[in-house]
Structure 1
Amino acid sequence: MPGAGGTAARLLVRASGGAPVETGRLPAREAARRELSKGAYHENDPHPLQRALDHLWTWFGDVVSAASVAAPGGPAGLIVLLLAVLGLGAALRWRLGVPRPGRRPTEALFAHGPRSAADHRAAADTHAAAGRWNQAVQERMRAIVRSLEERALLEPRPGRTADEAAAEAGRALPAYDARLRAAARGFDDVTYGGRSADRAAYLTLLDLDRAVETATPRPADAREGASP
Structure 2
Amino acid sequence: MPNWGDLTRAAGGAPVTIPRDPARDAARDELLKADYHRHDPSLQERVLDWIGDRLGDALDTVAGNGTSGTTGLILFLVIAALIGGALWWRLGAPRRAARTIQPVFGTAGPRSAAQYRAEAERHAAAGQWPQAVREQMRALVRALEERTLLDTRPGRTADEAAAEAGRALPEHAAALAAAARSFDDIAYGERTADQAAYRLLHDLDRALERTRPALTPVPVPVPAQAQGGAA
Q: TM-score, normalised by structure 2?
A: 0.51
Deviation at 1:189, TM superposition (A): 0.3
Structure 1 residue 193: Cα displacement: 3.6
Work out which of the residue numbers 178, 181, 185 in structure 2 matches 1:182: 178
Matched with 1:203 is 199
Measured in 2, the distance between the counterparts of 1:186 and 1:102 equals 13
Give, in angstroms, the shift of residue 190 of structure 1.
Answer: 0.6
Deviates more, 1:185-194 or 1:128-137: 185-194
Q: Does 1:104 align with 2:90?
A: no
Report the counterpart of residue 212 of structure 1 in structure 2: 208
Aligned to 2:166: 170
Q: Do 1:166 and 1:181's aligned partners in 2 also have CA atoms closer than 8 Å?
A: yes
CA distance in 2, matches of 1:123, 1:220: 35
CA contact (8 A) 2:129 2:195 kept: yes
Counterpart mapping for 1:88-103 below 5 A: 101=95
> How many residues were matched structurally?
125
Q: Note the residue ranges of structure 1 that are not aligned, 5 or more in a row.
A: 1-48, 50-98, 223-228
CA-to-partner distance for each residue in 1:55-91, whole Å, 9 max, x for gaps? xxxxxxxxxxxxxxxxxxxxxxxxxxxxxxxxxxxxx
Identity level (%): 60
| Cα shift readout 1:136-171 (whole Å, capped 9, x = no counterpart) | 111111111100000011111111100000000000
Q: Say if 1:182 and 1:189 are closer, same or farther in 2 by CA, change over 3 A.
A: same
Aligned residue number for residue 115 of structure 2: 119
Sort the Cα spacing of 1:221 and 1:152 in 2 relative to 1 into closer, same or farther, 3 A. Answer: farther
In the aligned structure 1, how far is the partner of 2:115 from the partner of 2:216? 28
CA contact (8 A) 1:100 1:193 kept: no
**Retained in 2: the 8 A contact 1:103–1:192?**
no
Asked whether the equivalents of residues 96 and 188 of structure 2 are also in contact (C-alpha less than 8 Å), the reply is no
Amino acid at match of 2:149: L
1: distance between equivalents of 2:119 and 2:94?
A: 25
Matches of 2:114 and 2:180, distance apart in 1:
19
Alpha-carbon displacement from aligned partner over 1:35-60 (angstroms, at most 9, x marks no partner): xxxxxxxxxxxxxx9xxxxxxxxxxx
- Matching residue's letter, 1:115: R
Using the TM superposition, give the Cα deviation of residue 191 of structure 1 relative to its aligned residue in structure 2, in angstroms.
0.6
Partners of 1:217 and 1:102 in 2: CA distance: 31
Q: Which has the higher contact order (CA 8 A, sep 6+)?
A: 1
Q: Equivalent residues in 2 for 1:136-155 (5 A)?
A: 136-155=132-151
8 A contact 1:100–1:192 mirrored in 2: no
Aligned partner of 2:83 in structure 1 is none
CA distance 1:139–1:208, change in 2 (3 Å): same
CA distance in structure 1 between the partners assigned to 2:119 and 2:127 by the alignment: 12
User: Aligned-pair distance for 1:102?
Assistant: 8.6
CA distance in 1, matches of 2:96, 2:143: 30
Q: Given that residues 123 and 131 in structure 2 are in contact (C-alpha distance below 8 angstroms), is that contact kept between their aligned partners in structure 1?
A: yes
1:143 aligned partner, one-letter code: A
Larger Rg: 1
